[in-house]
Amino acid sequence: MIRLEEVSARYRRSGRLVLDKVSLELPKGSIGVLLGPNGSGKSTLLKCVSGLMKYSGSVFVDDKPMEKLRLRERSSLLAYVPQDLSFAPSTVFDAVMVGRLSHFGLSPSEADQKAVWEALDDLGLRELALNNVLELSGGERQKVALARALAQNAEILVLDEPTSNLDIAAEMNIVSLARNLAKEKGFTMILSMHDLNLALSLGDHFAFLKGGKLLSFGGRDTMDSKTISATFGILAERVDAHGREYIIYGGKQ
């Protein structure tokens, strides 16, 4: 479970308010999707939650206040996957082993190796374990980053636009993996994305952000044409087809 209470953040230099008293709560094993135009504060919110940016207000994981915990304690509760992935040249195995750092301290044990192989298997990466991570495709690297976060064995996974820069197949693949991880392994996920249809197929809860303010937060019902219009300034409609729901965009307000 993760709970945000009136989280606000400012850019240090300009002092501009980029997040304005955002409060929300996600139950354990659920997926929360942050939606909003560029600059709405999605990435900032995820950075605050992950302790990478200073904020006022509180973030609770299982009722523990994150801002009062030490770095290492925090790392056992929450794993972060940034939007622009960066890796050093290393094998995929070593890249994922980095995720175990808070568990082993100085040197990985047999148990850490086992955890890494498990994380690699969860994401179908075993065959690539000995390859150079820099020689992988964008989709494969996204999986490596996810595997690293899994290996961390934290309850909350924070993913900043995990599907940006991926082709449709890789995008679908990541979304179905994320769903499985939440449903089968009980991870709570908070992630940001731009594609509303992808969000609808993945999320349990939706937070609509605009100008740093939380316009709306709730379950699948929140994803309606009124909220989408208010957030993005476009016309949109939610329709049923073949037993599934879709968002269809159209017109300009």
For another protein, which is the closer residue by CB, 91 or 201?
91
Q: Least distance from C-beta 224 to another protein, angstroms?
A: 34
Q: In whole angstroms, what is the distance from residue 45 CA to residue 53 CA?
A: 9
What would the x/- binding string for another protein be over residues 41 to 60, using CB under 8 A? ------x--xxx--------
Per CB under 8 A, does 111 bind another protein?
no
Q: Least distance from C-beta 131 to another protein, angstroms?
A: 7
Q: In whole angstroms, what is the distance from residue 192 CA to residue 218 CA?
A: 15
Q: In whole angstroms, what is the distance from residue 249 CA to residue 32 CA?
A: 22
Q: Least distance from C-beta 89 to another protein, angstroms?
A: 5
**Binding window for another protein (CB under 8 A); candidates: 14-22, 88-96, 161-169, 171-179:** 88-96
Look at the chain and count its residues.
253
Return the H-helix or E-strand segment holding 184.
helix 168-185
Q: What is the three-class DSSP state of 91?
A: strand
Return the H-helix or E-strand segment holding 226.
helix 225-232
At a CB cut-off of 8 Å and minimum separation 6, what does 69 contact? 77
Interior/surface letters 73-88, b for 16+ CB within 10 angstroms, e for the rest: ebbebbbbbbeebebe
**Binding window for another protein (CB under 8 A); candidates: 15-23, 104-112, 185-193, 218-226:** 104-112
- The one among 17, 21, 58, 90 contacting another protein by CB under 8 A: 90
- The one among 101, 170, 215, 235 contacting another protein by CB under 8 A: 101
Alpha-carbon 57 to chain mean position:
20
Find, among 207, 177, 154, 227, the residue nearest to 44 by Cα. Answer: 207
Total interface residues for another protein by CB under 8 A: 47
- The one among 57, 108, 139, 211 contacting another protein by CB under 8 A: 108
Q: In whole angstroms, what is the distance from residue 19 CA to residue 7 CA?
A: 7
**Binding window for another protein (CB under 8 A); candidates: 91-99, 168-176, 185-193, 234-242:** 91-99
Q: Least distance from C-beta 29 to another protein, angstroms?
A: 21
Per CB under 8 A, does 104 bind another protein?
yes
Binding site for another protein (CB under 8 A): 47, 50-52, 70-72, 74-75, 78-82, 85-95, 97-99, 101-102, 104, 106-108, 113, 117, 126-127, 129-135, 148, 152
